[in-house]
Copies of this chain bind each other. A is one copy, B any other.
């Protein structure tokens, strides 16, 4: 697929917006702030996005694309089973630690919009459901390949794994705790050991 110059410009602008949302949240992401950050005119940005909410929604969608490229695709390229589960974890940690300076935008958005009905909340709910189902499906490949117990509750596995990543997010970002990554890896190892056949 050819990407036009206009599309490439928009993606580059949205990458800046993803960076801002990561640092200060979606509520503080405005067309004015994006203009400052990119050096583009406000009127030029209005032509792209028309409203603050449209900008927020497109920023979230751009974040989803990048998460897909960085986490989901390389995970699916690995063999089914425990190897794919391990790949999911490693790729997810890259996302959490390296992809965005201000940490995962889905965690931030989830806290901002959990009590605010509307299109942003709906989009975040869809993302979150998709992601929980993806984790459960990958864990399911480890069940069917015989790496994980046949009676493993894969939904429960996904729930606990998400909790460990939230703990990583909070501990690393708020406390700057140098042990956050080690604690996360140790807890994940414990979770995998308990799931193993």
Contacts and interface: CB of A to CB of B under 8 A. Distances in A.
- For the complex formed by this chain, how many copies does it contain in all? 2
Contact of A174 (B103, B125, B179, B190): B125
Contact of A187 (B111, B160, B175): B160
A115 B167 contact: no
Contact of A159 (B112, B114, B121, B187): B187
- Range class of the A interface residue count: 35 or more
Interface string A82-105: 000000000000000000001100
B183 A115 contact: no
Given A102-B114, A114-B170, 6 more contacts: A27-B27, A110-B174, A111-B111, A121-B174, A159-B180, A163-B187
